[in-house]
Structure 1
Amino acid sequence: MLIDNHGRIINYMRLAVTDRCNLRCFYCMPEEGLNWLSRAELMTYEEMLHASEFLVNMGIDKIRITGGEPFVRKDIMHLLTGLSQLVGLKELTITTNGVLTAPYVAQMKALGIKSVNLSLDTLDPNRFFAITRRDEFADVMNTLDELLKHDFEVKINAVVMDGRNTQDIIPLVELTKDMPVSVRFIEEMPFNGDDHTYRGLNWDHVRILNEIQASYPTIKKVRDPAYSTSYNYQIPGHKGSIGIIAAYSRTFCGTCNRIRITPQGTLKNCLYDDGVLNIRDLMRAGLSDDEIKASLLNAFSHRVADGWEAERLRVEKTGIHESMATIGG
């Protein structure tokens, strides 16, 4: 079991397999995209599997595959197959935008993957195009249909953005009436690739809940799972549920159980830090697993108390200029 310097268990790793994405969401990156990492800068699948194996041996029992968009990377099923076979890994999940995912759903199910997070900020095709700068709404909805057909646990992640999609809050909530999905509303964060100025948070978790309560006054709070980043709710009579993630307010830091590894192998103890060591470089330098584990344990023993501390330390050095695509969400 991994325990950090604040007594928090670390058992969940988010592994970003690429920084590339086939959408250009305005809140994440410029319209022309980013300066993509070269193939040599990316961790190979073999390096990802090796790192995952010794981290699972250290105490990680849940891995979420993220990007960028994971299915943009060639032969992603090779990595998923290898990860699904790791002894000690209890849960393998994926976050995807759904554009390319549908053809892989049956294979994912066969590997034992049970849960998928689907990024979907609007149910209106025109607003989808305005937000993502791509006409891919039909493919995303097809992926949602395929996931439900194969009995996946589906979480729909929607970033709430003032003046962009707040009119979609209630339509997204209405999905939970007849679909067994969890619709999760996420506070907007400043990781935008410098494409637009982040003006602060106009829709925090309290305002989002108030908006939902105005249409559904019977909505009730339900118990949050251990280490949950979302406040969770249920509307009586609805098949699905609702979650609200205070991603900018950072109210969940006291129970944070997660680490992140970027596509180039940088370990992030916190979404808001700028990286604490590079696992890829340690492996390529020829360090043994025991030496790498020692470096990791040292990093875990110096985790910041919360995202506010991480952001303060980062801004003092480099500021926040990243895209969410480069850090895996």
Structure 2
Amino acid sequence: MIQPLVDPFQRAISYLRVSVTDRCDFRCVYCMSENMTFLPKKELLSLEELDRLCSAFVRLGVRKLRITGGEPLVRRGIMTFFQTMSRHLDSGALDEMTITTNGSQLEKYADDLYAAGLRRINVSLDTLDEAKFAQITRWGRLPQVLRGLDAAQRAGLKVKLNTVALKGFNEEELFTLTAFCADRGMDLTFIEVMPMGDIGNEDRLSQYWALTDLRARLAERFTVTDLPDRTGGPARYVRLEETGQKIGFITPLTHNFCESCNRVRVTCTGEIYTCLGQEGKSDLRAPLRASESDVQLEEAIRAAIALKPRGHDFDYSRQRPDGQMSRHMSHTGG
């Protein structure tokens, strides 16, 4: 029996989020600077190395794998990775493989993703207003994403929209987004903006919209029932009784969810971050490349898990973004 991955606080690690690229075809204002400096391609793990790394985690007990970026679908040849990793779904070693995407490439890849064994995807979408979408993504085009959503649903993928709650930006779209998802049979999860990376002229504190307030606004129009559902991630869910739809809340600021954290993140260069909201990291690329055997790699994974902290330090309560991370969200992979 292989000893499972358990951190110092007796939390079993069963969920791995892997960034396959730091590049993206959008420049969302809460995620990136407009003029980003990306990593040299030679520093990125190859697709074969990503396969070997992810497979080691699966062998050590990871049951859910989420592929992130940047925008993962802009990585050249990425479908080869999904196709080869699908063997772990076929064998039953992996319960789920999924992806978080901005939706820009779904029109092209939705059928291939379904064929590789994906059944659920997360699509980041913060507004249904075309002008505001161009404003917040800087480079994105809403019609392209909406065509991608259509393609994903036609392919048989269950879609969940991830919406970052941004004060003064999408507050008035709360019920529009909710109705859009109800009409399309999509789940919807709201996320509090987190203090990650230098985003130029944008002010984190002015962007922050507490989800306690958002939920209270929903309750003015709907009967909101708490649900016990968990999908392996940090979201807490409610049902809107009048529509029957499920709404999720990811609340790193108003409700710290660290006590049940079951996940770690690996960057496209092979760094493992055991907490999104801490700077601590360990290198997995060197042991991965040191030997064709996975012994050193597995030892390095276990050593990293042994350093996993109790939780993050994100805090806006003193009217400043305490716990701010120097790295961008796109570096860690969400």
Q: Same fold (TM over 0.5)?
A: yes
Name the residue aligned to 2:221: 215
Name the residue aligned to 1:324: 329
Question: What displacement does 1:109 show?
Answer: 1.0
Name the residue aligned to 2:11: 8
Q: Does residue 65 of the first structure (1) align with residue 67 of the second (2)?
A: yes
Contact 2:127–2:170 under 8 Å retained in 1: yes
Please give the alpha-carbon distance, in whole angstroms, between the structure 2 residues aligned to 1:194 and 1:281: 31
Compared CA separation, residues 60 and 200, structure 1 to 2 (3 A): farther
The two structures have a TM-score, normalised by structure 1, of 0.91
Question: What displacement does 1:201 show?
Answer: 6.9
Q: Which amino acid aligns with 1:215?
A: R
Name the residue aligned to 1:306: 311
Q: Which amino acid aligns with 2:27?
A: R
The two structures have a TM-score, normalised by structure 2, of 0.90
Choose which of 83, 93, 96 in structure 1 pairs with 2:98.
93
Name the residue aligned to 1:198: 204
Name the residue aligned to 1:18: 21
Please give the alpha-carbon distance, in whole angstroms, between the structure 1 residues aligned to 2:269 and 2:124: 23
Q: Does residue 103 of the first structure (1) align with residue 105 of the second (2)?
A: no
Contact 2:27–2:137 under 8 Å retained in 1: yes
Contact 1:178–1:238 under 8 Å retained in 2: no
Name the residue aligned to 1:260: 265
Name the residue aligned to 2:130: 125
Q: Does residue 35 of the first structure (1) align with residue 37 of the second (2)?
A: yes
Contact 2:195–2:314 under 8 Å retained in 1: no
Out of 187-196 and 103-112, give the one that drifted further: 187-196
Please give the alpha-carbon distance, in whole angstroms, between the structure 1 residues aligned to 2:207 and 2:324: 18
Please give the alpha-carbon distance, in whole angstroms, between the structure 2 residues aligned to 1:151 and 1:57: 29
Q: Which amino acid aligns with 1:270?
A: C
Contact 1:45–1:79 under 8 Å retained in 2: yes
Which runs of structure 2 are paired with 1:100-179 in the superposition (5 Å)?
A: 100-179=105-184
Out of 290-299 and 69-78, give the one that drifted further: 290-299
- Alpha-carbon displacement from aligned partner over 1:256-288 (angstroms, at most 9, x marks no partner): 110100111100101112242111122223374
Q: How large is the Cα RMSD of the aligned pairs?
A: 2.0
Q: Does residue 186 of the first structure (1) align with residue 191 of the second (2)?
A: yes
Out of 13-22 and 267-276, give the one that drifted further: 267-276
Name the residue aligned to 1:82: 84
Report SS of the residue matched to 2:302.
helix
Report SS of the residue matched to 1:2.
coil
- Alpha-carbon displacement from aligned partner over 1:124-143 (angstroms, at most 9, x marks no partner): 11110110112410011111
Contact 2:165–2:211 under 8 Å retained in 1: no
Out of 134-143 and 221-230, give the one that drifted further: 221-230
Contact 1:18–1:69 under 8 Å retained in 2: yes
Contact 1:68–1:328 under 8 Å retained in 2: yes
Name the residue aligned to 2:318: none
Please give the alpha-carbon distance, in whole angstroms, between the structure 1 residues aligned to 2:212 and 2:162: 17
Q: Which amino acid aligns with 2:57?
A: L
- Contiguous gaps of at least 5 residues in structure 2: 316-322
Report SS of the residue matched to 1:49.
helix
Name the residue aligned to 2:246: 241
Contact 1:178–1:239 under 8 Å retained in 2: no
Please give the alpha-carbon distance, in whole angstroms, between the structure 1 residues aligned to 2:287 and 2:32: 29
Report SS of the residue matched to 1:85.
helix
Contact 2:47–2:81 under 8 Å retained in 1: yes
Compared CA separation, residues 207 and 213, structure 1 to 2 (3 A): same
Contact 1:186–1:244 under 8 Å retained in 2: yes
Contact 2:191–2:251 under 8 Å retained in 1: yes
Please give the alpha-carbon distance, in whole angstroms, between the structure 1 residues aligned to 2:211 and 2:12: 25
Report SS of the residue matched to 2:205.
coil
- Contiguous gaps of at least 5 residues in structure 1: 311-317
Question: What displacement does 1:321 show?
Answer: 2.0
Please give the alpha-carbon distance, in whole angstroms, between the structure 1 residues aligned to 2:274 and 2:287: 17
